Structure 1
Amino acid sequence: MTQTNTDGDELARCDRRSDSGPFDIIGDVHGCAGELEALLARLGYHVRWTGTPSAAEVTVVPPRGRRAVFVGDLVDRGPRVPDTLRIVMSMVEAGTAYAVPGNHDVKFQRWLDGKDVKPSHGLDRTIAQFEPEPKAFRIAVRKFLKDLPIYVWLDGGGLAVAHAGIKEDMLGRISGEIRRFCLYGETSGETDKFGLPIRYHWAVEYRGHTSVVYGHTPVPDADWVNNTLCIDTGCCFGGKLTALRWPEREIVSVPAADIYTMPVRPFGHPPPRPGVTA
C-alpha cells in the first residue's frame, strides 16, 4: 500500500528517536485535573493559573531538562476535563510535553466534528463541561486532538508510548491496523458480561527490546510485564494517577481525591489470548 502524505507527516511526528529525555510519562487523566496538578507538583513541575474561570490560562514549568508524555484519555469521567486539556495543550505547545490520543479523546474529537456519537462512558460529562466554554477553545481542542501522533517512539528507539500499547514490529510504520491497536489494544471483537469489549493481554507475548508504556486498561498497580508497563491506575475510579520517570524507571503516584465514576468491571489486566499462558 502506498503511504499517503498525511501518513508520512504523522510518522514524522511519531518517530522522535532523536529525543532522549528524561521523560515523565503520565497515565490516563480522564479529567482529573486536581490530581494531575498534584502529580506534576510531586514530579517537580510548577503549575500556574492566570485569568478568570471563563478565560483561564495555565503555564507549566518543568524541572530542568525533563518533559512529560501523556498516554491519552484526557477526557471523560472526571470533574475538570477542560482544565485537563488546558494543562496538556499548554505543555505540548511549549515543547515541554508530548501527548498521544486515547480512544475517549478520539470519540470526543468526533463529537466536536459534529459526528453522531453515543454520549456514553463519560462523554456526556465532557459535553456538559464544554457547554459554557467559548467557541475558540472548542476549535483549539479539536485541532489539538486531531494533530496528535498515534504513538511516540523516543530515546534512540528504547522507549515507545501509545495509549493501549504497540508491538515492536509496528514501530516506524503507520496504518489503520496500527492506529486501531494503539487506541484499543488487541480485542476479540466480542463483548464480556459487562457489555465491554473483550481485550487480550498482548503484553504477555511481548519480547521486544523497546520498552512500551501505555494505559487504557486500568490496573490496581503499575507493574512491568515483559518490558511493558501499564500506568492507568484508575484515577477516575477512585484509584490513583501514576507516572513513570524515565530512564530512572521510578513509579510516582498520587491518590484520587474521590470516586468520580464507578467502574463497570473490576480493575485488572485482561486475559491472554487463547492458547497463551501468562
Structure 2
Amino acid sequence: MHIDQRHEKGPFDIVGDVHGCLDELKELLHRLGYMVQGQSFINPRGRKLIFLGDLGDRGPHCLASIRLVMEMVHRNYALYVPGNHCNKLYRYLLGRNVQVKYGMEKTVEELTALNNIEREIFSREFISFYEHAPLYLILDNGNLVTVHAGIKENMIGQVNKRITSFCLYGDTTGEVTPEGLPVRRDWAKHYRGHALIVYGHTPVEQPIFKNNTIDIDTGCAMGGKLTALRYPEKELVQVAARDVYYIRSGSKEAELVAKI
C-alpha cells in the first residue's frame, strides 16, 4: 500500500501499541462499537481502525494479536503502519541476526511452540503483510498522518533510509541509556505542520496534544492502558491493562521489583 491514502477520510479509530495485549484489544474494540464477525471485528457504522504498529512482544498473546490485525487489514476493516518491533520480527523471520530481548522473548516463545507447518504459514503471512505495509499514512486530504514513532513536517510525502529510521524509532541521537535503550529527542516540541500526527512508540501516562501531534502509546503491556483516538472527533477511549506483563529494565517498576 502507498503512503498517500488521502482519499481515506474516515472516520477512524486509531489504536496505540498493542504489544500482545489481546484481551485489552478486544475490550477496546467492543467499547469502540466494533462487533465480532468470524475471526475479525467490524464497525456497523463504517468506521475504520488504524493500528500504529508494535502488535506483538511483551504481552501474553503476541501471535494472536498479530493475526487479528492481519485479518482485519486483509478484510479492509483496518489500516496498519509497522513499528520497530514489527520490523525486528520481520528480520527475525527472514533469518537475520537480531537480539531477542525487550519483550521479543514472548513472541519467539510462542513461535517456538508452533509446529513446523504452523510456523511456516505464520512466517510467510507476516513477511508478506510487513512488506506490503506503508511506512506511514497520509489520510483525509492530508489532514491526518499516522505513524509509529513520529515524523517531521518536511518528511511527509517522502520515504528514504533516514525517514524510515525516524518513523520506526523516533528522533534518535545515536546514544543509549544505561539500560540500552536509544536516547530520543522530543521531535513533537518543534512540529509546526498542519496535519495532525498520531503516533505511539514512547509510552506516556496520558496522551496530550502537543503542536498538533499526540502520542497514544500508554504502555498497556507495562500495566498502563490501551488507548484509541477517535478521528475526527479527537476523543480518547481507553481500557486498563489487566496485568503487568512486562517490566522494562531501568524503569521505576523494575527498581521496585528488585527491592522485593
**TM-score category (smaller protein):** over 0.9
2:35 and 2:126 mapped to 1: Cα distance?
Answer: 23
Look up the match of 1:47.
36
Q: How much has 1:130 moved relative to structure 2?
A: 1.4
1:1-278 mapped onto 2 (5 Å cutoff): 13-48=2-37, 58-133=39-114, 134=118, 135-266=120-251
Whether the 8 Å CA contact 1:60–1:90 is kept in 2: the answer is no
1:44 and 1:241 mapped to 2: Cα distance?
Answer: 16
Look up the match of 2:255.
none
Structure 2: where are the runs of 5+ without partners?
Answer: 253-260
Q: Which amino acid aligns with 1:116?
A: N
1:212 and 1:232 mapped to 2: Cα distance?
Answer: 13
Q: How much has 1:87 moved relative to structure 2?
A: 1.1
Residue aligned with 1:150, SS:
coil
- CA deviations on 1:167-187 (whole Å, 9 max, x unpaired) are 121111111111111001101
1:42 and 1:222 mapped to 2: Cα distance?
Answer: 18
Q: Which amino acid aligns with 2:36?
A: V
Q: Which amino acid aligns with 1:191?
A: V
2:52 and 2:135 mapped to 1: Cα distance?
Answer: 10
When structure 1 is superposed on structure 2, of 127-136 and 222-231 the one drifting more is 127-136
Residue aligned with 2:44, SS:
coil
TM-score (norm 1): 0.86
Task: State the 4+ residue runs in structure 1 displaced beyond 3 angstroms.
Answer: none
1:173 and 1:139 mapped to 2: Cα distance?
Answer: 28
Look up the match of 1:273.
none
Q: How much has 1:61 moved relative to structure 2?
A: 1.4
Q: How much has 1:110 moved relative to structure 2?
A: 0.4
Q: How much has 1:131 moved relative to structure 2?
A: 2.1
- Over aligned residues, Cα RMSD in angstroms? 1.3
Whether the 8 Å CA contact 1:37–1:47 is kept in 2: the answer is no
Whether the 8 Å CA contact 2:21–2:62 is kept in 1: the answer is yes
Q: How much has 1:48 moved relative to structure 2?
A: 4.8
Change (3 A) 1:205 1:191: same
Whether the 8 Å CA contact 1:30–1:236 is kept in 2: the answer is yes
Q: Which amino acid aligns with 1:92?
A: V
Residue aligned with 1:224, SS:
coil
2:236 and 2:44 mapped to 1: Cα distance?
Answer: 17
TM-score (norm 2): 0.92
1:81 and 1:70 mapped to 2: Cα distance?
Answer: 15
Look up the match of 2:256.
none
1:263 and 1:254 mapped to 2: Cα distance?
Answer: 21
Paired positions, count: 248
Whether the 8 Å CA contact 2:40–2:68 is kept in 1: the answer is yes
Q: How much has 1:241 moved relative to structure 2?
A: 0.1
Whether the 8 Å CA contact 2:102–2:248 is kept in 1: the answer is no
Residue aligned with 2:95, SS:
coil
Whether the 8 Å CA contact 1:29–1:36 is kept in 2: the answer is yes
Q: How much has 1:193 moved relative to structure 2?
A: 2.6
Residue aligned with 1:131, SS:
helix
Question: Identity across aligned pairs (percent)?
Answer: 48
Change (3 A) 1:250 1:70: same
1:266 and 1:216 mapped to 2: Cα distance?
Answer: 16
Structure 1: where are the runs of 5+ without partners?
Answer: 1-9, 50-57, 268-278
Q: How much has 1:192 moved relative to structure 2?
A: 1.7
